[in-house]
Amino acid sequence: MAASTEKDVGIECWVNALPGFTGILKQRYSDFKVNEVDLAGRVVRLTTITSPELEERKRRQEAKAAQPSQAAKACTDLQA
């Protein structure tokens, strides 16, 4: 498989006349693997891909769904 040229990928001109370079800088997904480290020097692990805001919203919705509705409270009051 032949390497792509600049023209193949839409590059038509350069910002300056300096010589360029060739090579494969990043090719595999493992080239992009990084480990985040907290201030205490511990490696931080990704445990969820949802945002904290979505987690909190879901928790509030579940708590609200677990509470009886006003109509259910009114029926209970009438039965008492």
pLDDT (tens digit, 9 = 90+) per residue, 14-73? Answer: 888 888 888 877 778 887 888 899 999 999 988 888 777 888 888 899 888 887 777 667
Closest CA to 22 of 4, 44, 37, 42: 4
pLDDT of 42 reads 94
pLDDT of 80 reads 63
The number of residues making up the chain comes to: 80
Take residue 73 and report the two structure tokens written for it: 């409270």
pLDDT of 39 reads 95
Counting Cα atoms < 13 Å in the Cβ hemisphere of 25 gives 2
**Which residues, 6 or more positions from 49, have their beta carbon under 8 angstroms from its beta carbon?**
none
Name the pTM for this structure.
0.28
